[in-house]
Protein backbone atom coordinates (compact mmCIF):
# COMPACT_ATOMS: atom_id res chain seq x y z
CA UNK A 1 0.00 0.00 0.00
CA UNK A 2 1.17 3.51 -0.84
CA UNK A 3 2.50 5.67 2.00
CA UNK A 4 -0.05 8.47 2.61
CA UNK A 5 0.81 12.08 1.82
CA UNK A 6 1.28 13.86 5.18
CA UNK A 7 0.02 17.21 3.85
CA UNK A 8 -3.17 15.47 2.73
CA UNK A 9 -3.69 13.98 6.19
CA UNK A 10 -3.15 17.39 7.79
CA UNK A 11 -5.68 18.87 5.35
CA UNK A 12 -8.18 16.15 6.29
CA UNK A 13 -7.59 16.97 9.97
CA UNK A 14 -8.30 20.64 9.19
CA UNK A 15 -11.59 19.59 7.59
CA UNK A 16 -12.47 17.67 10.74
CA UNK A 17 -11.66 20.71 12.89
CA UNK A 18 -13.79 22.95 10.65
CA UNK A 19 -16.69 20.57 11.27
CA UNK A 20 -16.36 20.32 15.05
CA UNK A 21 -15.32 23.86 16.04
CA UNK A 22 -18.62 25.71 15.40
CA UNK A 23 -20.72 22.81 16.64
CA UNK A 24 -18.96 21.31 19.65
CA UNK A 25 -15.64 23.01 20.56
CA UNK A 26 -16.69 26.68 20.34
CA UNK A 27 -20.42 26.37 19.72
CA UNK A 28 -22.43 29.17 18.19
CA UNK A 29 -25.36 30.82 19.91
CA UNK A 30 -28.34 28.59 20.55
CA UNK A 31 -30.85 31.41 20.80
CA UNK A 32 -33.98 31.71 18.72
CA UNK A 33 -35.34 34.85 17.12
CA UNK A 34 -39.04 35.62 17.39
CA UNK A 35 -40.54 36.88 14.16
CA UNK A 36 -43.35 39.43 14.00
CA UNK A 37 -45.81 36.62 13.22
CA UNK A 38 -44.83 34.80 16.43
CA UNK A 39 -42.73 32.04 14.83
CA UNK A 40 -39.27 31.27 16.17
CA UNK A 41 -36.27 30.74 13.90
CA UNK A 42 -32.61 30.00 14.67
CA UNK A 43 -30.14 32.87 14.67
CA UNK A 44 -27.85 33.43 11.65
CA UNK A 45 -24.86 31.85 13.35
CA UNK A 46 -26.76 28.55 13.52
CA UNK A 47 -26.82 28.52 9.71
CA UNK A 48 -23.17 29.58 9.58
CA UNK A 49 -22.29 26.50 11.64
CA UNK A 50 -24.33 24.26 9.33
CA UNK A 51 -22.62 25.68 6.25
CA UNK A 52 -19.23 25.07 7.87
CA UNK A 53 -20.16 21.40 8.37
CA UNK A 54 -20.57 21.08 4.61
CA UNK A 55 -17.36 22.97 3.85
CA UNK A 56 -15.43 21.01 6.48
CA UNK A 57 -16.70 17.71 5.06
CA UNK A 58 -15.54 18.75 1.58
CA UNK A 59 -12.10 19.70 2.94
CA UNK A 60 -11.92 16.40 4.83
CA UNK A 61 -12.79 14.35 1.73
CA UNK A 62 -10.40 16.33 -0.48
CA UNK A 63 -7.63 15.93 2.10
CA UNK A 64 -8.13 12.16 2.25
CA UNK A 65 -8.07 12.00 -1.54
CA UNK A 66 -4.84 14.02 -1.61
CA UNK A 67 -3.35 11.74 1.04
CA UNK A 68 -3.99 8.53 -0.86
CA UNK A 69 -3.86 9.45 -4.57
CA UNK A 70 -0.77 8.38 -6.44
CA UNK A 71 -1.05 10.88 -9.29
CA UNK A 72 0.89 14.08 -8.56
CA UNK A 73 -1.24 16.04 -11.03
CA UNK A 74 -4.48 14.90 -9.38
CA UNK A 75 -3.10 15.87 -5.95
CA UNK A 76 -2.11 19.28 -7.31
CA UNK A 77 -5.58 19.92 -8.75
CA UNK A 78 -7.29 18.76 -5.56
CA UNK A 79 -5.11 21.17 -3.61
CA UNK A 80 -6.45 23.96 -5.81
CA UNK A 81 -9.92 22.91 -4.64
CA UNK A 82 -8.72 22.87 -1.02
CA UNK A 83 -7.46 26.45 -1.45
CA UNK A 84 -10.87 27.63 -2.69
CA UNK A 85 -12.66 25.73 0.08
CA UNK A 86 -10.39 27.43 2.64
CA UNK A 87 -11.38 30.81 1.21
CA UNK A 88 -15.05 29.77 1.50
CA UNK A 89 -14.49 28.78 5.15
CA UNK A 90 -13.13 32.28 5.82
CA UNK A 91 -15.83 34.13 3.86
CA UNK A 92 -18.80 32.24 5.31
CA UNK A 93 -18.83 33.78 8.82
CA UNK A 94 -17.74 37.16 7.44
CA UNK A 95 -19.94 37.72 4.37
CA UNK A 96 -21.81 34.66 3.05
CA UNK A 97 -23.78 33.82 6.23
CA UNK A 98 -22.50 36.37 8.74
CA UNK A 99 -22.66 35.70 12.44
CA UNK A 100 -24.79 37.72 14.90
CA UNK A 101 -24.74 41.51 14.99
CA UNK A 102 -23.83 41.59 18.69
CA UNK A 103 -20.01 41.51 19.01
CA UNK A 104 -20.24 39.98 22.52
CA UNK A 105 -22.05 36.80 21.40
CA UNK A 106 -20.22 33.46 21.53
CA UNK A 107 -20.19 33.17 17.76
CA UNK A 108 -18.27 36.44 17.37
CA UNK A 109 -15.93 35.94 20.32
CA UNK A 110 -14.84 32.36 19.66
CA UNK A 111 -16.33 30.67 16.63
CA UNK A 112 -15.71 33.31 13.96
CA UNK A 113 -12.01 33.89 14.80
CA UNK A 114 -11.40 30.14 15.01
CA UNK A 115 -13.00 29.56 11.60
CA UNK A 116 -10.98 32.38 10.05
CA UNK A 117 -7.76 30.85 11.41
CA UNK A 118 -8.73 27.32 10.30
CA UNK A 119 -9.68 28.64 6.87
CA UNK A 120 -6.35 30.47 6.61
CA UNK A 121 -4.42 27.32 7.48
CA UNK A 122 -6.50 25.40 4.92
CA UNK A 123 -5.66 27.99 2.24
CA UNK A 124 -1.96 27.70 3.13
CA UNK A 125 -2.09 23.90 2.94
CA UNK A 126 -3.85 24.05 -0.41
CA UNK A 127 -1.32 26.51 -1.81
CA UNK A 128 1.56 24.43 -0.49
CA UNK A 129 0.12 21.26 -1.98
CA UNK A 130 -0.56 22.82 -5.34
CA UNK A 131 3.06 23.98 -5.56
CA UNK A 132 4.76 20.99 -3.94
CA UNK A 133 3.71 18.38 -6.47
CA UNK A 134 4.34 20.49 -9.59
CA UNK A 135 6.64 18.65 -11.98
CA UNK A 136 9.98 20.27 -12.66
CA UNK A 137 10.79 21.38 -16.20
CA UNK A 138 13.98 20.12 -17.76
CA UNK A 139 15.71 22.06 -20.52
CA UNK A 140 15.79 20.37 -23.92
CA UNK A 141 18.71 20.29 -26.28
CA UNK A 142 21.33 20.61 -23.56
Q: pTM for the complete prediction?
A: 0.87
Decide: 121 and 89 in contact? Cβ < 8 Å.
no
Cα radius of gyration (the chain):
19
Cα–Cα dist 128/69, whole Å: 16
Give the model confidence (pLDDT) of 46-71 as tens digits: 999 999 999 999 999 999 999 999 88
Q: How confident is the model at residue 132 (pLDDT cuts 50, 70, 90)?
A: low
Residue by residue, DSSP assigns 14-46 as HHHHHHHIIIIISPPP--EEEPTTS-EEE-HHH
At 113 the pLDDT is 96
Amino acid sequence: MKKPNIAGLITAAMGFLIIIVPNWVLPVCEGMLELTNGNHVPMRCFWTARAEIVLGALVLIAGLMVAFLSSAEARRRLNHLVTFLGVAVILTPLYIIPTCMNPDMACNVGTKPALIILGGITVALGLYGSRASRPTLTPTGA
